[in-house]
């Protein structure tokens, strides 16, 4: 991306994604390519038996099979006629799902801003590596960009994400049902779900919904610094940003300790649920640098293949 192109793209995408952010995307892509040995590899590939390069197995020859795949060495040694089967990379569609509920707009810095940046960065890397990428904002009425391919599609994605507001009142599991109900492609895929997972139905419901629809979820859980270390003390009135319900509380040391234990339990439950099912799970704080988050995801989370 040239300087002129970056400037024009930033201007078209609006103030949320400025030229500095676009430079970050380019730097991240180069770093990820270096981490993967210089090969262009997407968010995740599935492996299936086909005409690839890596030997997977053999099966007995039957009349009509392609003789080009006959294992002549095996035939010479054991007098067995068998075909070589190879593993082949298969592109999968990638859905970037950003929770746009009201709780995501809270925090200092706001969780939604980092969620949108992470979504844009992962979409950019996937587009650069020729994956098909769709983007959805999970608000009360989920809004989506259909899957598309090609690095030049990032401008449309940035424009879409620049308009996302955290104003949804529905639990993320409910908005996922709406998204899956409108999903036309029934082929398998990967969905990166970026959320705080403050869902009354629990994180399990959201992730299991995706798995039931042949989608492999990757969970990215965001927390704000002031949620991890709240400054409230004494008598306060708090209001649920999604339901509007108000509650009068006395924030004593015991009450604060109970809150922090519950928050830690929510994070452990999500991590355990993902670990039991072999899913990637990342916990992120909204004041962490974008570059460090994305590189950690690719280096440590199995996203390189």
CA 119 – CA 97 distance, rounded (Å): 8
Same-domain pairing of 80 and 97: no
User: Model-level pTM?
Assistant: 0.80
- Whether the pLDDT of residue 44 is over 70: the answer is no
Residue 54: per-residue pLDDT: 56
Does residue 252 fall inside a structural domain?
yes
| pLDDT at residue 75 in the model | 83
Determine, yes or no, domain membership for 152.
yes
Residue 119: pLDDT band with limits 50, 70, 90: very high
Q: Based on the structure, what is the number of domains in the chain?
A: 2
Give the model's pLDDT for residue 260.
Answer: 93
pLDDT tens readout for residues 225-282: 999 999 888 888 888 777 778 888 888 999 999 999 999 999 999 999 999 999 999 9
Together in a domain, 56 and 106: no
CB 83 within 8 A of CB 65: yes
**Of the candidate ranges 91-105, 108-122, 217-231, the one whose mean pLDDT is the lowest:** 91-105
Same domain, 20 and 63: no
305 located within any domain: no
Same-domain check for residues 85 and 168: no
Q: What is residue 176's predicted lDDT score, i.e. its pLDDT?
A: 92
CB of 282 within 8 A of CB of 221? yes
| Closest to 24 measured CA to CA, from 105, 125, 136, 150 | 125
pLDDT of residue 74 exceeding 90, the answer is no
**Quick one: what percent of the chain has pLDDT higher than 90?**
43
- DSSP notation for 227-294: HHS----EEEEEE-TTT--EEEEEE-HHHHHHHHHHHHHHHHHHHHHHHHTT--EEEEETTS-HHHHH
* Domain boundaries, position 272: 3-39+91-300
Q: What's the pLDDT score for residue 38?
A: 53
pLDDT, average across residues 184-212: 85
> 80 and 229, same structural domain?
no
How long is the chain? 305
**Rounded to an integer, what distance in angstroms lies between the CA atom of residue 216 and that of residue 144?**
19
Under 8 Å between Cβ of 101 and 164: no
> What is the domain-level CATH number for residue 260?
3.40.50
């Amino acid at each position: 991306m040239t300087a002129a192109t970056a400037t024009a793209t930033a201007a078209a995408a609006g103030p949320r994604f400025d030229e500095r952010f676009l430079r970050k995307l380019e730097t991240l892509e180069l770093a990820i390519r270096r981490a993967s040995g210089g090969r262009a590899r997407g968010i995740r590939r599935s492996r299936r038996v086909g005409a690839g390069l890596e030997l997977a197995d053999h099966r007995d020859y039957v009349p009509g099979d392609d003789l080009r795949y006959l294992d002549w060495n095996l035939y010479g040694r054991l007098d067995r006629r068998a075909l070589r089967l190879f593993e082949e990379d298969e592109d999968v569609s990638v859905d970037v799902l950003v929770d746009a509920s009201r709780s995501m707009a809270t925090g200092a810095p706001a969780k939604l801003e980092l969620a949108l940046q992470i979504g844009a960065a992962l979409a950019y890397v996937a587009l650069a590596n020729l994956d098909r990428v769709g983007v959805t904002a999970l608000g009360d009425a989920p809004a989506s960009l259909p899957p598309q391919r090609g690095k030049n599609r990032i401008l449309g994605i940035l424009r879409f994400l620049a308009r996302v507001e955290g104003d949804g009142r529905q639990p993320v599991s409910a908005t996922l049902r709406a998204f899956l109900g409108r999903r036309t492609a029934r082929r398998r895929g990967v969905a990166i779900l970026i959320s705080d997972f403050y869902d009354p139905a629990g994180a399990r419901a959201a992730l299991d919904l995706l798995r039931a629809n042949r989608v492999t979820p990757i969970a990215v859980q965001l927390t704000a610094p002031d949620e991890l270390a709240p400054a409230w003390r004494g008598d306060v009135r708090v209001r649920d940003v999604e339901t509007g319900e108000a509650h009068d509380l006395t924030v004593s040391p015991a009450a604060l300790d109970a809150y922090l234990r519950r928050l830690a339990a929510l994070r452990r439950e999500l991590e355990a649920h993902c670990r039991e099912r072999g899913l990637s799970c990342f916990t992120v704080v909204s004041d962490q640098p974008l570059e460090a988050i994305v590189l950690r995801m690719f280096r440590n989370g199995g996203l390189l293949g």
